[in-house]
Structures are given as C-alpha cells and as structure tokens.
Amino acid sequence: MSSVSPATAPAAPAGPPSTGPARTTVFGVSLNIRQSGIYIAFALIVVLFTILTEGALLQPQNISNIIVQNSYILILSIGMILIIIAGHIDLSVGSVVAVTGAIAAVLMVDYGIPWPVALVLTLIAGGLIGAWQGFWIAYFGIPAFIVTLAGMLLFRALTLTVLGNQGIGPFPDPVRTLSNGFTDGYFGNIGLGMLGGADIFSLLVGVLVVGGMALSQWRTRTARLGYHQAVDPLPVFLLKIVTAAAVIMFVVVQLARFRNLPWVLVLLALLVLAYSLVTTRAVFGRQVYAIGGNLQAAVLSGIKVKQVVFWIFVNMGVLAALAGVIFAGRLNQAGPTAGNAFELDAIAAAFIGGAAVQGGVGKVVGAITGGLIMGVINNGMSLIGSPSERVMLVKGVVLLAAVAFDVWAKRRAAR
C-alpha cells in the first residue's frame, strides 16, 4: 500500500459530493442535516419555551430541575441507544428500574448494608437481569421485543414480591445526595456583578470541561490533518467550539448561581463521555454498528454477534440498575410503581435523537439530546400550566415528526 498522493490530500469539504450523506448549506456552512437537525431542533425548542415562559425556563433553579428530573431517563437512553443501534429493543427497563430500586432499598434499609457495597450489589443484580434477557435474545434466538416484554411483566412482579406491595425507605443520605444533591462549595463564592454570587468550584469545573473539550477537539483535528483527512475549515471549527463552550458555560454559570453542580450531572457527564468513546472508538462499539447495519455481513466478517448482543443487554441492565437507585434515592423510597413507562421515554429519546428503526445508526449524544428535548417540553409546558394530556400529545407529535424527518432525509439522500 502506498501513501495517498498529495493532490487528493486537502479535500475540500465545500460543494456537495455526489456520494455522501444529505447535506444542506446554511450561511455558507455545509451541514449534514440528518445529524445536525436534532441539535437545531433542540435549540429552537429551548428558544420557543424561553419565550413562552418569559425566561423562566432558563432560570438557575429550573435548569437544575430539568437535569435532576430527567437524569434517570437520560441514563436509560444511553443503554437504549446501543440496543437500538444493534437493531433490537428493550421494553423492560422501566420494570428493571423498579426491581433494582427495590433491591437497593432492601439491602440498604432492611439489611443495613453499607451503601457503597449495596450499590455495587444492585448494579451486579442489574447486570444479571441483563444477562438473563441477553441469553434468551442472543443465544436462544427469541426476538428482543418478546423477551423484554416478558421481562417487563416478570420484573414488575418481582418488584411487587420484594416490596410486599409497599414502599421501602428512607435511603441513606449519600444515596439521596447522589440523586438529588449538589457539590459542596469547596472554594466559596465569587461575585459575578449583576448576576450575584456563584460557586467558584462549579465555575472551575466548567472552565476545565470547556478547556478539555477544546483541547481534545483541536488534537483530533491536528491528527486528522496529519493524515490528510478532510476536516472542517478553521472558522467553522472555531465556531462550533465557541458555540459548544458558550452553551456549557451558560448552564454552569446558572447552576453555580443556584446551588452548585448536581451530582447526577457529574455522573451523567462521565457516562456520556465514556459511552461516546465506546461507540466511536472501541472495537466493541463499532461491532454494534456493524451488526445493526447488516447482520449477515457482520456474521460473515467474523464478528461474534451473539456475544456482542449479549453484552449490550448486560450493559443495559447495569445502567437500568443505576437509574433505579437514583430514582429511588430521589423519591427517598422504592415504590411498586417506580419506573412505569420509563422504557417508552428512553426509546423515544433514542429515536428523537436520530436512531434508525432498522438499526445501524445513532449516537449517544443524540439520544441525550432527544431525552433533553422531551425533558424541556415536559418542563416548559408545565411552567405555562398546560394539562398533562396536552404534554403527551405534543410529545407524541414530536416523536412522530422526528422519525418522519429521519425517513424523509434518508429517502432524499438515496436519490
């Protein structure tokens, strides 16, 4: 293999190539509409509800609420996107949230086991539940729809059995802090002029995150240039970085003005980072895409399809257990109806976030954005006093519209 001739090296990104995803041009910037549509939609929805709520949506306390109230759905959607990329589905996560919450409650409250040990045991229990479902799906060959539909009933029944039809609580303080609490103001406050006081630690974390993101993006770009790959032109690159930095810093400043960083936000950020890396860089993640894209071709390429499918369900179980503990900790009790219909929110988040029904397509950040879109709609509509039936109606329309858009974009790209 010889190296690439320099003539083809700095491939111009402008000008629509005949073979590539559907692109459209906005202010001279070429955009992949199928990938970036979701972020534009999110921005529009935030702007819309900011206007409708006369700014209440972006108040410090409300931002904090949106994050904390949706944290468990967002965690579930991370596991769900992997499953959907592989071409499967998981209807049981709501029930798994309930049963793992109950297990955590029994361990921590009834047996008084120290919370870190109990947390680990609960996560293991979640993994075993995932392994149970993964076995039937991957090795026995039953469609995931059926296995997890059965799981939905089985684990709800198990929850009721464990709980004896009543709630168990209260949870130890550290667990409640994880679900509901905030980082301490380790370095005190700083005055931000007319914005009032803000937590220095939160601001520092924000600055570090933004700096880290910018640095890693820059290094990726430099490495790609070193390999003569096509990259965004510098102004577009900088614009993207500055926009992302501005959004992150805005959220952090608002949170710092309220009660510092919610712990679940820290946890979520770590999960998103880790799973983004797994889906884009890890062999395992790439095999998930290969399986969803063309199962037969994946088999004939020597990918151990059964193993991969098994492990994404184990992973889903562990994440559902984490969500279960956080949800129970937030309510300060494990209840029999916990997690009802969570699976539907997690699935909707994944599809709104750009996953394809046939599998093979999807991103962790997309699923998170999809989950946030629904979170903002929920929150914004309740702020303006809409009845719950109208919220449901809007969420249904948004889900349908998102998938319709995806199908349309794909058809357009196919032409």
Partner 1 sequence: MTSPGDILRMQEITKTFPGVRALQDVNLSVRRGEIHAICGENGAGKSTLMKVLSGVYPHGSYEGEISFDGQECRFAGIRDSEQRGIVIIHQELALCPQLSIAENIFLGNERSRRGLIDWNRTNHEARVLLDRVGLPENPVTVVSDIGVGKQQLVEIAKALSKEVRLLILDEPTAALNDEDSAHLLDLLRGLREEGITCVIISHKLNEIAAIADRVTILRDGRSIETLDMDADDVTEDRIISGMVGRDLEHRYPPHEPSIGEEAFRIEDWTVHSPVQRDRVVVSNAALSVRHGEIVGLAGLMGAGRTELAMSVFGRSYGVDVSGRVYRDGKQVEIRNVRDAIGHGIAYATEDRKRYGLNLIEDIKRNISAADLGRLARRGWVDDNEEYRVAEGFRHDMNIKAPSVLSVTGKLSGGNQQKVVLSKWIFTDADVLILDEPTRGIDVGAKYEIYSIINRLADSGKAVLVISSELPELLGLCDRIYTMSAGHITGELPRHEATQERLMTLMTTLTTKDTAR
Binding positions for partner 1, rule: CB under 8 A: 1-5, 11, 17-21, 223-224, 226-230, 277, 280-284, 286-287, 289-290, 293-294, 296-304, 356, 360-361, 414
Could you tell me the smallest distance in angstroms from the CB atom of residue 294 to partner 1? 4
DSSP structure class, residue 182? B
Residue placing its CB nearer to partner 1 in the complex, 139 or 186: 139
**280 residue type, one letter:** T
Residues 262, 330: Cα–Cα separation, whole Å: 12
Could you tell me the smallest distance in angstroms from the CB atom of residue 285 to partner 1? 9
Residue placing its CB nearer to partner 1 in the complex, 299 or 403: 299
Residue placing its CB nearer to partner 1 in the complex, 8 or 165: 8
Helix (H) or strand (E) holding 330, with range, is helix 305-331
CA dihedral sign of residues 168, 174, 177, 178? negative
Q: At 217, list the tokens.
A: 């993006």
Could you tell me the smallest distance in angstroms from the CB atom of residue 334 to partner 1? 36
Residue placing its CB nearer to partner 1 in the complex, 166 or 222: 222
Could you tell me the smallest distance in angstroms from the CB atom of residue 274 to partner 1? 12
Could you tell me the smallest distance in angstroms from the CB atom of residue 283 to partner 1? 5
Residues 240, 246: Cα–Cα separation, whole Å: 10
Residues 8, 204: Cα–Cα separation, whole Å: 43
Could you tell me the smallest distance in angstroms from the CB atom of residue 9 to partner 1? 10
- For residues 376-396, one letter each, b for 16 or more C-beta atoms within 10 angstroms of the residue's C-beta and e for the rest, the string is bbbbbbebeebeeeebeebbe
Residue placing its CB nearer to partner 1 in the complex, 38 or 85: 85
Residue placing its CB nearer to partner 1 in the complex, 3 or 165: 3
CA dihedral sign of residues 262, 391, 78, 241? negative
Residues 27, 245: Cα–Cα separation, whole Å: 21
| Angstrom distances, CA of residue 323 to CA of 68, 108, 239, 378, 389 | 12, 16, 35, 19, 26
Ordered DSSP codes for 69-109: HHHHHHHHHHHHHHHHHTT---S-HHHHHHHHHHHHHIIII
Residues 106, 129: Cα–Cα separation, whole Å: 17
Partners of residue 32 on adjacent β-strands: 23
Could you tell me the smallest distance in angstroms from the CB atom of residue 146 to partner 1? 18
Could you tell me the smallest distance in angstroms from the CB atom of residue 273 to partner 1? 14
Location of structure tokens 């931002």: 63
Residue placing its CB nearer to partner 1 in the complex, 280 or 337: 280
**214 residue type, one letter:** A
Could you tell me the smallest distance in angstroms from the CB atom of residue 217 to partner 1? 14
Q: Are 338 and 171 in contact (CB under 8 A)?
A: no
Residue placing its CB nearer to partner 1 in the complex, 4 or 393: 4
Residue placing its CB nearer to partner 1 in the complex, 20 or 211: 20
